[in-house]
């Protein structure tokens, strides 16, 4: 192609676009004006909606806020990491939004680079922290130990119903959020041992990845071969491989084993084999952030949500149902209807989680909610190693910052 033809093409494109632009210009600006309703923009992670986890939960939380708090919510999915800083700047400069909710840790760096320039713009960062306290920035974190501890008790109880005494976890990378899960899960197991006198063999395996289902599958198979009856998935997409391994293990008749999901309700993936999931309520976090703006209780810095605030916990039937519906709508749930999923989960729960286990769960839940006990959050790998070591020796108080578990 000759240069002149190229130039001609470009000129034509420009003429049409400028023409169209001029025409549209006189049509007026879009999205301007309107009332004084509080306006919130929810900025998703790069993947955006449809993950049936983080982003979809953020959406559910914002939708609830829109209904209950009478706010206007708009959504945006950045194309990539490089878009985050310019978008944050442009949105802040527009002054149009009372709050920008940033979903996921990818926003941490970009927020840290822009928050200081816009002191009048409020930001809420979900499930991550910049490590800097600013009056216009709320970093909302979860006390994962609390839900993992409850799951630890349930997993131990389920293992005994399955005729074994070994439980395990397929974990992602060896990073601080996972340390919290490890401490909580092991704490729950030791709590179960202490209260029931039944010994539990505990396996914990890091896979080093959150995205590789293949590694999740092989790691889970290894743990099952070591006698694990219940596996807790703590590795994002990797533990979908763990789910598959457990499904195959059961179907191939190698033994009976169950899986536990985490973050979103994942029971719908295979309700016969995943009777329960730990909850990390991103929806609650998003709602909480919006609520702080609406009710004028805004506070910068780190905010942690735990059992008390319903930021973490165990998914109840309604939660299981709403995720089954989401999965059904996006055609990922094929073999069952959402109601089937709920009824199977109910059956499985009553079969494998006995009354005494629920009693222990509620007992510990109360202690945490009352503020009687609170968990440590290790800051260094050494501190984390020490807590785990102490816990393995049966010293439950090593995991606690406040209170004590006296037998």
Which residues contribute to the site for other proteins (CB under 8 A)? 1, 3-6, 8-10, 12-13, 16-17, 20-21, 24, 27, 29-31, 41, 46, 48-49, 74-83, 85-87, 90, 105-106, 108-109, 131, 173, 175-176, 208-209, 211
Q: State which residue, 26 or 393, has the beta carbon closest to other proteins.
A: 26
By C-beta, is 1 or 406 nearer to other proteins? Answer: 1
Report, in Å, the least distance between residue 234 CB and other proteins: 15
| Nearest-approach distance from CB 117 to other proteins, in angstroms | 14
Closest distance to other proteins from the beta carbon of 346 (Å): 34
With respect to other proteins, which residue has the nearer C-beta, 78 or 378? 78
Place of tokens 């976090």: 285
Q: How far is the CB of 45 from other proteins (least distance, A)?
A: 9
Q: How far is the CB of 301 from other proteins (least distance, A)?
A: 17
Nearer to other proteins, 80 or 296 (CB): 80
- Least separation in angstroms between residue 160's CB and other proteins is 36
Distance CA 29, CA 405 (A): 62
Considering beta carbons, is residue 4 or 297 the nearer one to other proteins? 4
Looking at the Cβ atoms of 76 and 392, the one nearer to other proteins is 76
362 token code pair: 């509620």
Q: Which is nearer to other proteins, 110 or 313 (CB)?
A: 110
Q: Which of 172, 271 has the CB closer to other proteins? A: 172
- Min dist CB 109 to other proteins, Å, is 6
Least spacing, CB of residue 12 vs other proteins, in Å? 4
């Amino acid at each position: 192609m000759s240069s002149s033809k190229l130039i001609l093409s470009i000129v034509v494109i420009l003429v049409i676009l400028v023409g169209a632009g001029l025409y549209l210009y006189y049509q007026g600006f879009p999205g301007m004006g309107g009332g004084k309703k509080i306006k919130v923009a929810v900025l998703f992670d790069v993947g955006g909606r449809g993950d049936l986890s983080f982003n979809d939960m953020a959406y559910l939380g914002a939708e609830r806020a829109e209904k209950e708090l009478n706010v206007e919510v708009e959504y945006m999915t950045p194309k990539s990491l490089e878009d985050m800083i310019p978008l944050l700047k442009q949105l802040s400069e527009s002054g149009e939004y009372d709050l920008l909710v940033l979903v996921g840790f990818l926003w941490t760096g970009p927020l840290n680079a822009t928050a200081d320039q816009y002191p009048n713009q409020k930001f809420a960062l979900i499930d991550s922290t910049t490590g800097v306290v600013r009056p216009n920035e709320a970093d909302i974190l979860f006390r994962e130990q609390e839900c993992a501890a409850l799951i630890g008790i349930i997993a131990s109880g389920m293992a005994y119903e399955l005729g074994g005494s070994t439980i395990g976890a397929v974990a992602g990378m060896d990073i601080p959020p996972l340390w919290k899960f490890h401490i909580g899960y092991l704490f729950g197991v030791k709590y179960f041992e202490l209260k029931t006198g039944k010994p539990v063999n505990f396996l914990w395996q890091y896979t080093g990845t959150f995205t590789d289902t293949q590694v999740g599958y092989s790691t889970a198979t290894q743990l099952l071969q070591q006698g694990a009856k219940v596996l807790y998935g703590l590795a994002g997409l990797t533990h979908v491989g763990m789910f598959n391994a457990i499904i195959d293990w059961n179907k191939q008749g190698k033994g009976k084993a169950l899986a536990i999901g985490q973050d979103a309700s994942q029971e719908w993936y295979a309700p016969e084999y995943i009777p329960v999931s730990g909850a990390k309520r991103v929806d609650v976090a998003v709602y909480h952030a919006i609520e702080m703006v609406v009710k004028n209780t805004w506070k910068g810095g780190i905010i942690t949500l735990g059992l008390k605030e319903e930021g973490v916990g165990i998914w109840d039937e309604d939660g299981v149902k709403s995720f089954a519906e989401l999965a059904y709508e996006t055609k990922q749930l094929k073999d069952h209807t959402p109601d089937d999923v709920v009824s199977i989960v109910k059956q499985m729960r009553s079969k494998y989680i006995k009354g005494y286990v629920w009693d222990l769960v509620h007992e510990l839940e109360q202690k945490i909610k009352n503020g009687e006990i609170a968990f440590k959050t290790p800051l260094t790998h050494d501190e984390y190693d020490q807590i785990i070591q102490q816990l393995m020796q049966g010293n439950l108080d090593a995991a606690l910052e406040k209170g004590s578990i006296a037998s």
